[in-house]
Amino acid sequence: MVEFSGRRIVITGGAGGIGVATARAFLEHGAHVLLLDPDGQRLSEAKAALGGTRVFTAATDLATPAVCDALLTQARPLYALVHLAGVFERDPLDPDDHGVWDRAIAANLTSAYDMAVAFRRHADTRGPARIVLASSVAFRRGSPAYAAYGAAKGGIVGLTRSLARRFAPDILVNAVAPGVILTRMTDDIIAERGDAYRQDIPLQRFGDPGEVASVIRFLCSHDASYVTGQTITVDGGLTNA
Closest CA to 127 of 189, 184, 64, 81: 81
Residues 6+ apart with CB under 8 A from 208: 21, 181, 182
Cβ atoms < 10 Å from Cβ of 166: 12
d(CA 149, CA 128): 31
Strand bridging mode 80-83 / 231-234 = unpaired
Helical segments of 76-200, H only:
99-104, 111-122, 138-141, 147-167, 187-200
Query: What is d(CA 54, CA 38) in angstroms, rounded to the nearest whole number?
Result: 20
Distance CA 115, CA 68 (A): 6
232: Cβ contacts below 8 Å, ≥ 6 apart: 174, 175, 176, 177, 215, 219
226 carries an active-site annotation? no
Q: Which of 79, 113, 146, 149 is labelled catalytic?
A: 149
Tell which residue, 189, 170, 238, 215, has the closest CA to residue 88: 189
Give the integer Cα–Cα distance in Å for 86 and 109.
Answer: 8
Positive or negative, the CA dihedral 18, 177, 134, 9 is positive
The residues annotated as belonging to the active site are 149
